[in-house]
Amino acid sequence: MKGNFNLASAEPELQGVALLDLKRQYDVLKDEIAESLKKVCDSGAFVLGPEVKTFENNIANYSQVEYAIACASGSDALLLALMAAEVGPGDEVLVPSFTFFATASAVTRLGAKPVFIDIEPQSFNMSATDAAQRITARTKAMVPVHLFGQMAEMVELNRLAQQHGITVIEDAAQSIGAELEGRRAGSWGDMGAFSFYPTKNLGGAGDGGLVTTRDGEFAQRLKLLHVHGMEPRYYHRVIGINSRLDSFQAAILNVKIKYLEGWTMMRVQNARRYNEMFLDAGLENTIGIPQPLPNRRHVWNQYTIRVLDGQRDDLRKNLAERKIGAEIYYPFGLHEQECFQYLGYNAESLPETYRASREVLSLPIFPELTENEQRLVVHNIKSFFEINAARHVFPATTVTPIRKRDAA
Ligand SMILES: *Cc1c(COP(=O)(O)O)cnc(C)c1O
């Protein structure tokens, strides 16, 4: 393996590497997208309509479920799924603390209480062991998140849910096309929530979301709930919300879904190449390299390393100076957020979440990322650690080591 990648020859003319460059995708699809948008304008059907129907069918097929109900965002998809599960005041809902805010805020919006669960260190996903310990008589639902593109422990979590009569809602916002034992995200729980925000693996040109289910009753309820509970027109059977996908988003997403498998394979290839490059650079003991769990298809919405010994923020700053995009998802567990202090969690009471939030760093992984760009990313990480190691040998210096090295 050694010597596969000549890091030193990382393209000198590269000016940096973007964390995500959506323009490369758009440049290829420009004409196809323009044409699909024109069709929507000509049709005059701007909200829901045939493009949305087609999109729902496309996602149902892709995600191996019977029903798909499109809505306005991933956040709304979570809210609608919890509404369909009749979550309300007095109920508790298990959610991981290490996730995007929407996973928990959907619970509080319905007057229910989020119960934060710690994660498994290797996958960053909700721990079934910890979840089991926090179930009470009030636990009504759980929302495991398939974080960064890898499926949570759905076998164990489904078993737990079955034992206790809990509804399972997958937060699949980052994981369209991810698989566990050959079955896709969104097909494991009672419902699955998806987002088509532009940074997701299947992203529109604005907000969009969708709920999947294999259960006809949930499907029926979701169809009502997202149009103000109205059926037929002006007859309101239940109190729903207004959360519809517009036809422009659906049209764009119908174009893009044809390319999703190809893009996913490119993400997988990029992840594999990073792993090889980091081994090649001898960094395997310096940083934590992501290792997907067995029986899974990881779709790499994020490629997330761990940086130990409190060096994460320095590394990120150093990369930023070299115009290399790197982001922290997420700098705090939700249990640490000000708005959730009323729940009374101690920051370190979820130790794996606490540690992960201080160590994680996500690197560019988008499909069109080139090998040379990856080489530049790895090259810069390698030199950061070489310089830091040098600093440990000569602690007397007060000059920031990076400048010192550059000047030499
Ligand atoms: C993006 C995301 C959401 C919310 O989706 P929006 O479409 O932005 O509302 C929810 N959960 C997770 C894990 C996400 O990454």
What pLDDT is recorded for position 237?
86
Strand partners, 210: 70, 194
Q: Which of 101, 291, 213, 360 is nearest to 221 (CA)?
A: 213
Amino acid residing at 394: F
> Which residue's structure tokens are 């209480």?
113
**Could you tell me if 186 and 170 are in contact, meaning their C-beta atoms sit under 8 angstroms apart?**
yes
75 lines ligand 1 (CB under 6 A): yes
Q: Is residue 298 part of a domain?
A: yes
Tell me: do 321 and 211 sit in the same domain: no
**Could you tell me if residue 30 is inside a domain?**
yes
Report the nearest atom of ligand 1 relative to the CA of 195.
7
Q: Are residues 270 and 145 in the same domain?
A: no
Domain shared by 104 and 229, yes or no: yes
Q: Are residues 218 and 291 in the same domain?
A: no
Domain count, the chain: 2
Ligand 1 lined by 103 (C-beta under 6 Å): yes
Q: Whose CA is nearest to atom 7 of ligand 1?
A: 74
Select from 234, 258, 282 the last residue of a domain.
258
Question: What does the DSSP 8-state code read for residue 257?
Answer: G
Does ligand 1 lie within 6 Å of residue 99's CB atom?
yes
Question: For position 309, which CATH number holds?
Answer: 3.90.1150.10
Does residue 304 lie in a domain region? yes
Q: Tell whether 222 and 277 lie within a shared domain.
A: no
Q: What is the rounded CA–CA span in Å between residue 308 and residue 286?
A: 7
The whole-angstrom separation of Cα 115 and Cα 104 is 9
Which residue range is the domain that position 236 belongs to?
A: 26-258
- Give the pLDDT score at 278: 98
Which of the residues in the chain have pLDDT under 50?
A: 1-2, 394-408
> Do 209 and 347 reside in the same domain of the chain?
no
Residues 286 and 300 both lie in one domain: yes
Give the bridge partners for 171, in sequence order: 145, 193
Q: Identify whether residues 203 and 293 lie together within a single domain.
A: no
In this structure, is residue 2 part of a structural domain? no
Pair of tokens at residue 65: 């479920």
Predicted local distance difference test score (pLDDT) of residue 389: 76
Give tens-digit pLDDT for 24-65.
Answer: 999 999 999 999 999 999 998 888 889 999 999 999 999 999
From ligand 1's centre to the CA of 99, what distance in Å?
9
Of 206, 237, 258, the position where a domain reaches its end is 258
> Residue 69 has what pLDDT?
98
| 105 C-beta closer than 6 A to ligand 1 | no
pLDDT at 99: 98
Q: For the segment 116-127, what is each residue's pLDDT rounded down to a tens digit?
A: 999 999 999 999
Rounded distance from Cα 81 to ligand 1 centre (Å): 14
Judgement on whether residues 123 and 238 belong to the same structural domain of the protein: yes
- Do 141 and 173 share a domain, yes or no? yes
- CATH number for the domain including 188? 3.40.640.10
Based on the fold, state whether residues 277 and 225 are members of the same structural domain.
no
Out of 216, 238, 258, pick the residue that ends a domain: 258
**pLDDT of amino acid 309:** 83
Atom of ligand 1 nearest to the CA of 99: 13
Kindly state whether residues 315 and 376 are assigned to the same domain: yes
**Ligand 1: centre distance to CA 174 (Å):** 7
